[in-house]
Amino acid sequence: MAATFDLLGDRLTLTILRLAFVEHARRFNHWSEKTGAPPAVLTARLAALVDAGVLERDSGEYRLTELGLATWEILVCVWSWQREWTAEWSVLPEFVHLDCGHRGPPVLMCRGCGRTVTPHDTDVELDRDALWHLTSGRRRSARSAAPAQVDARFDEIMEAIGDRWSAAVTGLALAGVRRFSEFRAALRMSPTTLTERLTRLVEAGILLRPETDAREYRLTPRGRALFGVFAFLLAWSHHAHPLNPEPGLRIRHRECGAVLLPALRCRGCEAELGRTEVRFES
Ligand SMILES: [Zn+2]
Ligand SMILES: [Zn+2]
C-alpha cells in the first residue's frame, strides 16, 4: 500500500494517467503542453511510472501497460468523488456507459456475489504489524513535488490521498480508527506530524472532531465517500505486488463474507462495467 500511495498519490501522476486515458496521450510533448510541468519533473514522473510497470516506452512513446490500464477504476472513483463532493463538478467531463447510454457516476459492486456495496456493508480489517511498514522507506512531499500550474482538479482529493501519511490516516479512519492514540500506535509517526495531518484532514472536511469527545476523529460523509477510491487502490496494490503476502488492510464484504474484489456497475442498466465500454465526454 505504501508503494501504491507513493506512486499514485500524486497530482501530476494522476494527471498523466488521466491524459493517457481520456486524450490517449503517448508523447512527452502532449503531457508537457497540458500539464505545464517542468521537463525535469515530468521526465522523472514518467520514469517512475515506467519503473513501476505502469507505462512502457516504445519508440519514443509511452504506452499504458496492462497494469497501467488497470488503474482506470481508481481514476473513475476519483472522478466520482470530485463530482459529488467538490465544487469542481461543473467543469468535469461526463462519464458515459456506451452500451446503454447512461451518463453519470457508477456504483461499487462486489465481484464475488454481484451485489452493490457501500462502506456500511463492509468490515475493514487491519493488520497492525503490516502497517508498521507504511512509514518506513522513502518520503516525498506531495506539495513540493507538484508544480503550481499542474491540473488543479486534483487539489481536494490530494488533501486526502496526496501523500502516504494522509492516505494512511484516511485509510485507518475508514477501518474504524478514531482515537489519536490508536492512529499513533498503528502508524508510528511523530505526534507532531500526526497532529498536523489530522488537522489538515479536518480542515479539508474529510475528518471531524465530535463536540462530545475532542480526542476522537471521525470521517465525515465526504470522507467516507472515499471508500471506492481506497477499495480500488487496495485491489490495484495487490495486482501490482502479487508476491506481497499480507496486505495490511483488508476489506471484507459482510453480506457474502468474501474479501472484497471491487468492480464498477452502471446505475442505468446495472451491468458490470468494462474499461472499453465507458468513456469520458466533455
Ligand atoms: Zn459480496
Ligand atoms: Zn449502462
Most confident of 67-81, 115-129, 133-147: 67-81
The pTM of this model reads: 0.86
Q: What is the mean pLDDT of residues 240-245?
A: 76
Which one of the ligands is nearest to 269 CA?
2
| pLDDT given for residue 76 in this prediction | 93
| pLDDT given for residue 139 in this prediction | 41
| pLDDT given for residue 136 in this prediction | 39
* pLDDT band, residue 215 (cuts 50/70/90): confident
Which one of the ligands is nearest to 278 CA?
2
Q: Which residues touch 156 (CB under 8 Å, ≥6 apart)?
A: 82, 85, 86, 88, 204
Which one of the ligands is nearest to 110 CA?
1
| pLDDT given for residue 227 in this prediction | 92
- Give the number of other CB atoms < 10 A from CB of residue 58: 9
Question: What is the rounded CA–CA span in Å between residue 161 and residue 168?
Answer: 8
Strand 61-64 with 55-58, pairing:
antiparallel
Supply φ then ψ for residue 223, to 5 degrees: -70, -40
Higher pLDDT, 114 or 189: 114
Residues having C-beta closer than 5 Å to ion ligand 1: 110, 112-113, 253, 256
Ligand 1 centroid to residue 110 C-alpha, Å: 5
Which one of the ligands is nearest to 104 CA?
2
Which one of the ligands is nearest to 255 CA?
1
Ligand 2 centroid to residue 265 C-alpha, Å: 8
Ligand 1 centroid to residue 62 C-alpha, Å: 37
Which one of the ligands is nearest to 258 CA?
1
| pLDDT given for residue 246 in this prediction | 60
- Residue 7 pLDDT more than 60? yes
Grid coordinates in use for 273? 462495467
| pLDDT given for residue 155 in this prediction | 63
Ligand 1 centroid to residue 265 C-alpha, Å: 14
Query: Which DSSP category does 118 fall into?
Result: -
Higher pLDDT, 213 or 219: 219
Q: What is the mean pLDDT of residues 181-192?
A: 84
Q: What is the mean pLDDT of residues 212-235?
A: 90
| pLDDT given for residue 12 in this prediction | 86
Higher pLDDT, 129 or 213: 213
